[in-house]
Structure 1
Amino acid sequence: MPLTEAPSGSKTSASGLTILLVGWVTVTIFGAKVFHPSPQPLQDLLTSTLAWQVLLAGVLLTAVITWGPGWQEVGFRRPRRRDLPLLWFPVLVLAVILGLAALMGLPPAGVTLLVLANTLLVGFSEEAMFRGLLFHGLRARVSIWPAILWTSGLFGAVHLLNGFVTGDFGPALVQAAMAACTGLFLMAIFLRTGSLWVSVIYHALWDFAIFMIGLASQQAMEQQQALEEAGKGQQMLVPLLLILPNVLYGAWLLRKVRATTAHR
């Protein structure tokens, strides 16, 4: 059955989906306040310790998927090889960003590995929640495009809650807009490759690349004032510019979304 068609299995109730999303947000966002009571920038959080709250959220989703709809049903399956060449452009964009970060100077190996571990946790948790369980539940109720837009919009909206963690809702608003755009792109590669694993891996590597170039930019600054201004600029403008090529490409990939797209 195509991924764009409504699931044939039993529906998750609307209240069940809502409870799951609220539970995920509570563990992920407000759980961060338990481990880090004082406001901290996201870069400091990801470079200082393992994101335990994200790990816990991932464990929760693993249990829900295992005893609920099942891994295959929500999209965790092998990608279709004939569609993997469609990833050439997103991979190129990723390589350019990582290359720039490497040229500017990467942080110590320990910090780099910690950021990679944390972004892998984030990639799995967010993809399983949104492009996985939430999209699966919405497709049982609405047609393909409303499901895509609702999933992407809610994905962006929850990032606004990062303001409770960082103490700054200005950058969180931009992060929410960027996340909504990224979510649309990730939905495109999920539907076109037929595998949520592809979007998990790309999501993780994308976040890793963004944080690496942010950290590299900080290292390149010599004056504290320039550092602060650059940090604000990265949060307010640069990520949106970096995601723009992928968003446009994702829109192109979605131009022919039909009931025959991305068969199971």
Structure 2
Amino acid sequence: MNEGKDKTVLRRALLWIFVYIVLVNIGDEIGRQTGMGSLITALILVGFSVVLLKTHHLQDLLLRLPERNIYASVWFFIPLLVLALIHWFVGLEATLGLSDFLVVALLMMAVGFIEEALFRGLLFLAIEKNSTTKRAIIISGVTFGFGHIVNLLRGYSSTELLSQIAVAIAVGILLALLVAKTRSITPGVIFHALFNFSGTVTSQDAELQAMLLVPILVISVLYSIIISRKSSKGVVLVG
């Protein structure tokens, strides 16, 4: 692929991300105006997921089984499972009913797939082709984190937003490392959907949520170090 085409691929990846952000905010606003809440956003994003699948080959999204046998051991994914379920330590959100759980499940499955396909699929590959794997990991992770700045529109305080961005960057880099090693977004899609679902249906008490930030950051950083040092290709990803 030549340099001009590589840059076109990168611009397209960024355009898809921009469209996604716009659609989320449109869905949220329609949900508020109609009183249908997150259901509207969920339906819009399910439609967007279908469009992504229809307009891209699965290999262009890295939507496939992991390539690396080194990650076949169950123990290797235990930290990822802990991160995905860590919010359950603070208990369920008492105000949610069955319909809320179903809407959240639908929304987070769509979000998990879309964000992994865009940030760790299209964007990661575009940066990697234009530069290096190391830069693709860092840039896609940081871009993913700062992409959460749109939550200002959802009424988050500056402190809450900064905390969320920090966690998102750490998790984003972790997931990008997994993609670099497995050449697959599939583990990330499953994790992302579970992590977001857990964070939404469990207690939204600000103090309890804040307590989880440190273990999430610590686990993400340590897990990233472990992954980066298990390169089976001899590629130096950190340092």
TM-score normalized with structure 2 length? 0.78
Unpaired segments of 5 or more residues in structure 2? none
Q: How well do the aligned residues superpose, as a CA RMSD in angstroms?
A: 3.3
In 2, the alpha carbon distance for the partners of 1:254 and 1:65 equals 30
Q: Look up the match of 1:11.
A: 6
Change in 2 beyond 3 A, CA 1:67/1:94: closer
Q: Look up the match of 2:116.
A: 127
Q: Which secondary structure state, in structure 2, belongs to the residue aligned with residue 76 of structure 1?
A: coil
Q: Look up the match of 1:228.
A: none
Deviation string, structure 1 residues 202-241 (Cα, Å, up to 9, x no partner): 11111122233325xxxxxxxxxxxxxxx33245452343
In 1, the alpha carbon distance for the partners of 2:64 and 2:105 equals 23
Q: Could you say which structure has the greater relative contact order, defined with CA pairs below 8 angstroms and 6 or more residues apart?
A: 1
Instruction: Report matched runs for 1:35-184 at 5 Å.
Output: 35-36=31-32, 49-53=37-41, 55-57=43-45, 59-60=47-48, 62-64=50-52, 66-68=54-56, 70-80=57-67, 82=69, 83-85=71-73, 86-95=76-85, 97-98=87-88, 101=91, 107-166=96-155, 168-184=157-173
Contact 2:39/2:107 (CA < 8 Å) preserved in 1?
yes
Alpha-carbon offset, residue 65 of structure 1 = 5.1
> Quick one: percent identity of the two aligned structures?
20
Change in 2 beyond 3 A, CA 1:67/1:110: closer
Contact 2:128/2:136 (CA < 8 Å) preserved in 1?
yes
Unpaired segments of 5 or more residues in structure 1? 1-5, 39-44, 216-230
Deviation string, structure 1 residues 152-187 (Cα, Å, up to 9, x no partner): 011000101101122533312211111111111222
Query: Are 1:233 and 2:207 an aligned pair?
Result: yes
Contact 1:131/1:151 (CA < 8 Å) preserved in 2?
yes
How many residues are matched?
A: 229
Deviation string, structure 1 residues 34-62 (Cα, Å, up to 9, x no partner): 43369xxxxxx9xx744433543453354
In 1, the alpha carbon distance for the partners of 2:212 and 2:81 equals 19
